[in-house]
Amino acid sequence: MKARVTVTLKNGVLDPQGQAIEGSLASLGFGGVKGVRQGKVFDLVLDGSDEEAARTQLTGMCEKLLANTVIENYQIEISN
């Protein structure tokens, strides 16, 4: 089973890396970009075929390691 976890900053949390990327894009001639929010993507391969058990396990991973839940949100996608 494959899973993708996408971690992004919560609304209202400053994103200095996103701001730096936005500035760099402008200096490279890519005009019209009015905002960039940086995040992380984790692609995982899991044993088993129980989607509910996988979601529970992935949620634990996010809560304990993959995301700082004080300032970040996460989204879990599972595929076979």
Fold of 2-79: Mth169; Chain: A , (3.30.1280)
Nearest to 16 by CA among 46, 44, 37, 47: 37
Q: CA angle, 64 as apex, 5 and 51 as ends, to 5°? A: 45
Q: List, for residues 41-52, the tens digit of each pLDDT value.
A: 999 999 999 999
Q: Is the pTM of this model over 0.75?
A: yes
* Domain limits, the chain: 2-79
Q: CA angle, 66 as apex, 65 and 68 as ends, to 5°? A: 80
3-state secondary structure of 69: coil
Q: List, for residues 50-76, the tens digit of each pLDDT value.
A: 999 999 999 999 999 999 999 999 999
Please tell me the distance from the alpha carbon of residue 37 to that of residue 53, in angstroms, as a whole number. 31
